[in-house]
Amino acid sequence: MRFCNCGCGRTVSLGRDYIYGHNRRGSRHTDEAKAKISEAKRGNQYGLGYRHTEEGRRKISLGLLGNKNGLGSSASHIGHKPNEETRKKMGIAHKGIKSSLGYKWTKEQRITLGKARLGNKNAFGYKHTEEQRKNKSRAGKKRWSNPEYRDFQVRAIVKAGCITPNKAEKKLSYILRNTIPGIFYYNGDFRLGISIGGKIPDFVNMNSKKQVVELFGDYWHRGQDPRNLIEYYAKYHYDCLVIWEHELENRESVKKDILSFVRSWNE
């Protein structure tokens, strides 16, 4: 398995050093190149910053008038107002629908619903017995002890949370790449599929050494003792280096800590 040389942690196909476009990360266009790009985009009505003429804006406005699928349409519920006839038809169509907003259940209906939900374990307010709670707990622990199930759930949680490297993690990733290139790769969004004892380390040593680097945010990890996390990883035979967010301001000091951490494994 080969990883992209930019340090993003993603795998590359055989014979490649970078994922397409990643070889230009961090590079900047020259003034001459920027001038050429600007000249090429001049007059492009789809380009950012292009301004339509007065006539162009008038034509666009006329084109959208009465268009229910355009800006201000009923589909987006912004600006579009149904006429009187349409509102009457909507009112008649919604009359008697129990799921409609404003529908009032009769007393008899409420009693019937209440009886139907008695004993329903999925109903709001139902309280499980002590034995049921223990059974659910045992079943949950058994499922999570399966590595395949755990990895699937972790991936789903990370994907739903749209977790991506934040500014501090990107800064630390840059320091790691420049201090010891090709060793530590980002895994905070589970892109490498590595979890240790149910925890997802931020950076993992992919050079056959059991080492991880964790970044502690000054706000989110305030009051926490890094030693607890270091001891936790030690149970799984992993060495852990914890770096605080404010320490990133002193780049040279962080580099020394990283180099000392990597050398400690060899010793």
Q: Are residues 138 and 222 in the same domain?
A: no
Token representation of residue 67 = 């268009």
Q: What average pLDDT does the structure give for the chain?
A: 82
Count of the separate structural domains present in the chain: 2
Tell me: do 135 and 212 sit in the same domain. no
State residue 12's pLDDT score. Answer: 78
Residue 123 has pLDDT above 60, yes or no: yes
| pLDDT 10s digits, 16-60 | 888 877 877 767 778 888 888 888 877 676 666 677 888 888 888
Q: How many residues does the chain have?
A: 267
Query: Which residues have CB under 8 Å from 198's CB, separation 6+?
Result: 144, 150
What is d(CA 3, CA 256) in angstroms, rounded to the nearest whole number?
A: 25
pLDDT in tens, 167-224: 999 999 999 999 999 999 999 888 888 888 888 999 999 987 899 999 999 999 999 9
Residue 219 shares a structural domain with residue 150: no
Return the pLDDT at 247. Answer: 96
What tens digit of pLDDT does each residue of 17-26 get?
A: 888 778 777 6
Residue 40 lies in a domain: no
Q: How many CA atoms lie within 13 A of 144 on its CB side?
A: 12
222 and 244, same domain (yes or no): yes
> What average pLDDT does the segment 77-84 reach?
70
Q: What is the mean pLDDT of residues 84-96?
A: 80
Confidence bin at 74 (pLDDT 50/70/90):
very low
Same-domain check for residues 245 and 172: yes
Same domain, 148 and 220: no
Give Cα 201 to chain centroid, integer Å. 16
What pLDDT does 205 receive?
94
Q: Are 58 and 66 in contact (CB under 8 A)?
A: no
Lowest mean pLDDT among 18-22, 70-74, 140-144: 70-74
Lowest mean pLDDT among 119-123, 137-141, 246-250: 119-123
pLDDT of residue 248: 95
Q: Indicate whether 115 belongs to any domain.
A: no
pLDDT band at 158 (very low <50, low <70, confident <90, very high): confident
Same domain, 142 and 194: no
Q: What is the CATH number of the domain that holds 251?
A: 3.40.960.10
Res. 252 pLDDT band, cuts 50 70 90: very high
Please report the pLDDT score of residue 78 as a whole number: 56
Tell me which of 160, 175, 208 is where a domain ends: 160
Residue-range definition of the domain harbouring residue 142? 130-160
Asked if the structure places residue 86 within a domain, the reply is no
Check: CB of residue 212 under 8 Å from CB of residue 196.
yes
* Cα angle value 266/193/25 (rounded, 5°): 80
